[in-house]
Chains A and B, each alone.
Chain A
């Protein structure tokens, strides 16, 4: 069964460092997303990406964040200068269309120290 894969599963970084979280969405999907979940809280939308550009982003997705689809398979989330409050699980998701079910990866646990 096709699935969304994310790497690494756990990333520890020092405050102020840049991190890149990687995702391989399901191959025939056209819409890609990043969400985050702070421990014990609900899943929050960060950004959606379609046709090689950001289609929508939340207030959380400030200038420290960027996304890229560098080739035909990968979808990355970059945090330029990490803060302690960026510590969370980051989930990548993809869907065939905008109004169809989104499939989530297993997440990357980001710990900023």
Chain B
């Protein structure tokens, strides 16, 4: 079935370092969303990207949608301990009925 691949699966950084997670699809996507799940919590919607080459920023977070709309990335500048959690990308499924979620990238930050 349709899948999205997220890399890396895990990432540990020192506080203040940058972090990037990548999401790749074999098919062209109409849009892609990003979610964050804190340890023990539930996924929380961060952003949606729709246009080819789109770049959106939320404070220290930068989201990009590839020109071919087959990949996306989330970059965090100068990580903080509050950034700890798992980040999921989520495009619509092929049927266009619901979101499918990547397996996520789990970020840990040491101070």
Chain A complexes with chain B = no
Name A's B-contacting residues (CB within 8 A).
Answer: none
Chain B residues with CB under 8 Å of chain A are none
